[in-house]
Chains A and B, each alone.
Chain A
Amino acid sequence: GQNIDQPTEMTATEGAIVQINCTYQTSGFNGLFWYQQHAGEAPTFLSYNVLDGLEEKGRFSSFLSRSKGYSYLLLKELQMKDSASYLCAVRDSGKSTFGDGTTLTVKP
């Protein structure tokens, strides 16, 4: 079966750095995605990892360790608009299985 775990909620301060972790146990693996979802809106793509290591894209970075079944999303220089839910998703043979998401609240 597919099992993806993320913390339910996190809080951080504007300008700070926050790391959102994701652990997974899936029957197959073709890559890991991170999506951002603001309340009442559709998820939007942030990053994709298929090989071990760090992928950096502006203020956002994502890390993957396939042997540990572990990924994290790192958000730097937090802004108020980063308050949202962050969804970890593992692709296996076409379909992606999503975690329940981490709700991040950025405070002034």
Chain B
Amino acid sequence: GAGVSQSPSNKVTEKGKDVELRCDPISGHTALYWYRQRLGQGLEFLIYFQGNSAPDKSGLPSDRFSAERTGESVSTLTIQRTQQEDSAVYLCASSLGGGGDTEAFFGQGTRLTVV
């Protein structure tokens, strides 16, 4: 596609339910990133994929959070047993590679609200 696509754009879920967020990166981009942004705050790193491997999962806040990537393309971020503190915008970005001056292109994000 022309850009990074995320779905859904908005998700309202009840506390305790599981949610799955999807990211379609730019075709050919090997690096993929997930960030979380709470209202009025900066971007909090969650996880980074190079190809289908995740060399850095250090940002995942708890074992309720997991992510996978298949075919060096689509990635899904899964949050189990959602809590109100999980409410935020979840941003996905992709870049040609993981190093150098390769800029990251961001999707529009998924706004998650846990009620």
CB-defined contacts of A101 to chain B, threshold 8 Å: 41-42
Q: Does A67 contact B (CB under 8 A)?
A: no
Question: Bound complex: CA of A94 vs CA of B48, how far in Å?
Answer: 8
Instruction: Classify chain B's interface size.
Output: 20 to 34
CB-defined contacts of B44 to chain A, threshold 8 Å: 98
Cβ-defined partner of A94 (8 Å) among B59, B99, B105, B108: B99
Question: Bound complex: CA of A42 vs CA of B45, how far in Å?
Answer: 15
Cβ-defined contact, A48 with B43, below 8 A? no
Chain B's closest residue to A103 (CB) is B40
CB-defined contacts of A30 to chain B, threshold 8 Å: 99-100
Cβ-defined contact, B56 with A93, below 8 A? yes
A96-B45 CB under 8 A given contacts A42-B107, A44-B106: yes
Chain B's closest residue to A98 (CB) is B43
A50-B45 CB under 8 A given contacts A42-B106, A44-B106, A94-B55: no
Cβ-defined contact, A43 with B106, below 8 A? yes
Near B by CB (< 8 A), chain A positions 79-100 give 87, 89, 91, 93-100
The listed residue with most B CB atoms (<10 A of its CB), out of A30, A42, A50, A87, is A42
CB-defined contacts of A94 to chain B, threshold 8 Å: 31, 48, 50, 55-56, 98-99
Cβ-defined contact, B107 with A95, below 8 A? no
Cβ-defined contact, B42 with A98, below 8 A? yes
- Chain B interface (Cβ < 8 Å from any Cβ of A): 31, 33, 35, 41-45, 48, 50, 55-56, 59, 91, 98-101, 103-109
The contact sample of 7 A-B pairs, CB cut-off 8 A, is A42-B108, A93-B56, A94-B31, A94-B48, A95-B33, A95-B48, A98-B45
